[in-house]
Structure formats: structure tokens, C-alpha cells
Amino acid sequence: MIIVLKPNVDQAAIDQVTLHVAELGYAPRVIQGVERTIVAAVGDELSNRSLETLQGLEPVATVIPIQKRYKVASRECRPEDSRVMIGHYPLGAGAFQVISGPCAIESRKQFMTAVQHLTACGVRIIRGGAYKPRTSPYDFQGLAEEGLELLAEAKAKFGVSVVTEVVGVTHVEKVAAVADMLQIGARNCQNYHLLECVASAGRPVLLKRGMATTIEEWISAGEYLLVNGCPDVVLCERGIRTFETATRGTLDVGAIAVAKQETHLPIVVDPSHAAGRRALVLPMALAGIAAGADGIIVEAHPDPVNALSDAAQQWPSDQFASFMEAVRPLVALMGKKLG
């Protein structure tokens, strides 16, 4: 349930309500919006005492049950769009970001060249895989800690924020020491133990949708992060597995629109993994922006033909200015500010 407080309540009144919520066996989450303050009560309503008893408290305007399985992520809990700071750069609530970089960090020369190309055309958030979960154990698995060192070097040299994937609980602390945002890949979307560990790392989290995950399951996975201490969650639609083989995955544009209606969390689109082919990346990116996305994450490499992973779908980083120019007008048309 959510407890909606009366307008202009002071901090003492908010503290009074949160204390009562805790006494009833719930974890209170205070959400201060533009027009009203809400206390979300997180917990099992079958095991704890009824929150409807709070209706009699003087600061309380109303107590509203949330019927959805995800509570804190819902629009009922927070009507306004959330904004997440990725380092120094905002995402959501009108702020749009293009996140780009190579699928995997392969060498210092490869990565620094890509970052130089991308920052020159306005990219402020760089992606790069230090740890790479691959379908085959014989494929390139990333540079691991050496990759993290290169991410830290790029941050210092170019003033960018960086996003990289966490593939296991043993990597969380190392990755969080460098990355401004931690990525949960599609394979780990419903790895709830990993989500709980990542939630406590003190970093925003980019949560990719699983290849066979429903929209409700995807948002519910985001709820795991929210209730375990991570207030800054960004959902990422990256294509789902269907019977279609013309693309690597089926970009679920409808899911972007549904998620924007159902949740206040920012939504990012990954057209690279959905497309699987460079020629389709831009059209899919534009479709995601038109559906309401708050950002896109695109793979770019200085030498895509010789990339050690996902070669077919990576954009040439020295040509990324043309990509930025193609998306800029639509971002503006959708009422968002790029960068």
C-alpha cells in the first residue's frame, strides 16, 4: 500500500507516519514528489498488520492499496518520472542520453580510440564490457580487471561516466569501485541473489530485460533492486527471443510504451542486440525513441570487422557523429534534451 500525506506536511509528520509503518511490520520508503509526499509500505500484507489503521493519523490524506506485484516501481507509488544521475549526467524526466562504446574492452588502443571518437561527437556515457558472459565458453570473455583499469583511465582522461556489466556476486565490489552505473545483463535479469547484492553497491543499475522475460517480470526484477536499497534503477529493452530469425532479437517497442505507463523508472533501448546487424541499429533506435525511451545504448567499435565479439552489429566509432545527428531531431521532437 501507499500512504498519501496531506499537502505541506512537515518532517515531523513524515517521521510520525514512517514510524507507524515500521511498527506495523513494513519497510517505509518516503517519496517526495512535486505535489505530494507518499510513504510506500514495502512488505507482505498477508503477514503484517493492516495499514488501513493509518487512515486515522492526522497527516494522512488517504491509504491506497497497490494491486500490482511491483509496488515501489509503479506509477501509483510515484506518478512523476524519475531521473537518475549517472555520474554527472542525468537520465530520465526529460533528460536523454546516448550511451555508447564497444561490446567488449579488447585492448587499451581499441578502447581509448573508441572513447576518443565517441566523446568528440557528444557521447558522455561510455559502455564497455570488462567481464563478458558468452554463450560459448570458447568465446572471448573480456579482460576482467585489466578492463576495469581501462575504464578508470577513460574516466580520468575524458571526463566521461562509464557503464559496465556485473556477471557475478564476486565481481560487484570491484566493478562498483570504477563504474558509475552497474549493468545487469539479459541472462541475469531474474538472478535475484545477484540483484540483491548489486542493490547494496551504492550505484545506479541498468537492468536489461531477459530474453524470455515478460514485462511484469522485468519490472518486478527492478522492484528487487528498489526494495533492497537501490533507488536509481533504469530499465533496458534489448529485444526478446521469438520465432523470428530476420533479426537477432525482436525489439519489443510495445514494451517501452507499456513500461512508461506502468512505471516511473527511466527506460533505455538497446537496438544493437535486438538488430544483430549494423544496418538495422539506427531504424530500431529511432523506433525506441518514438515509443518514449529516455536513452539508447549502442555498441560502437573503431574496427568492427575485427571485433572479438558482436562484430556484425557494432557501429564504426569514427562514424558515430552521423548516428548522433540522425537521432537528435527525434529526441527534440519527443520533448527531451540530449546530453
The enclosing domain of 57 has a CATH number of 3.30.70.1140
Summarize pLDDT for 295-319 with one digit per residue, the tens.
999 999 999 999 999 999 999 999 9
Same domain, 30 and 123: no
Residue 44's φ and ψ, nearest 5 degrees, are: -85, 110
Rounded Cα–Cα distance for residues 295 and 161 (Å): 15
Residue-number span of the structural domain to which 30 is assigned: 2-64
Percentage of the chain lying above the pLDDT 70 cut: 97
Summarize pLDDT for 87-98 with one digit per residue, the tens.
999 999 999 999
Residue range 62-70: average pLDDT?
85
Same domain, 36 and 89: no
Same domain, 208 and 278: yes
Looking at the DSSP bridge assignments, the partners of residue 205 are 182, 233
Residue 157 lies in a domain: yes
Residue 143 lies in a domain: yes
pLDDT at residue number 46: 64
Rounded Cα–Cα distance for residues 262 and 326 (Å): 29
Summarize pLDDT for 111-162 with one digit per residue, the tens.
999 999 999 999 999 999 999 776 676 677 779 999 999 999 999 999 999 9
Side chain identity, residue 145: E
Same domain, 123 and 13: no
Residue 53 lies in a domain: yes
- Which residue's C-alpha cell is 566509432? 317
Structural domain count of the chain: 2
27-32 and 37-42: which strand pairing?
A: antiparallel
What lies within 8 Å, CB to CB, of 243 at 6+ separation is none
* Torsion sign, CA atoms 258, 263, 264, 270: negative
E strands along 238-330, which residues? 267-269, 295-301, 315-316
Same domain, 60 and 88: no
pLDDT at residue number 47: 64
Same domain, 34 and 105: no
E strands along 203-319, which residues? 205-208, 233-237, 267-269, 295-301, 315-316
Residue 226 lies in a domain: yes
Same domain, 24 and 132: no
Residue 153 lies in a domain: yes
Reported pTM: 0.91
Give which of 203, 229, 208 is closest to 72, Cα–Cα. Answer: 229
Residue 70 lies in a domain: no
Same domain, 274 and 176: yes
Same domain, 218 and 88: yes
Rounded Cα–Cα distance for residues 234 and 91 (Å): 9
Task: Give 52's pLDDT tier (boundaries 50, 70, 90).
Answer: confident
Same domain, 170 and 273: yes
Give which of 15, 56, 73, 23 is closest to 39, Cα–Cα. Answer: 15
Same domain, 54 and 101: no
Rounded Cα–Cα distance for residues 328 and 5 (Å): 40
Give which of 37, 42, 28 is closest to 6, Cα–Cα. Answer: 37
Residue 200 lies in a domain: yes
Same domain, 287 and 324: yes
Nine cell digits for residue 42: 514495502
Residue 77 lies in a domain: no
Nine cell digits for residue 24: 506495523
- Which residue's C-alpha cell is 587499451? 108
CATH number at residue 151: 3.20.20.70
E strands along the chain, which residues? 2-5, 27-32, 37-42, 60-64, 84-86, 89-91, 95-101, 125-127, 161-165, 181-184, 205-208, 233-237, 267-269, 295-301, 315-316, 337-338
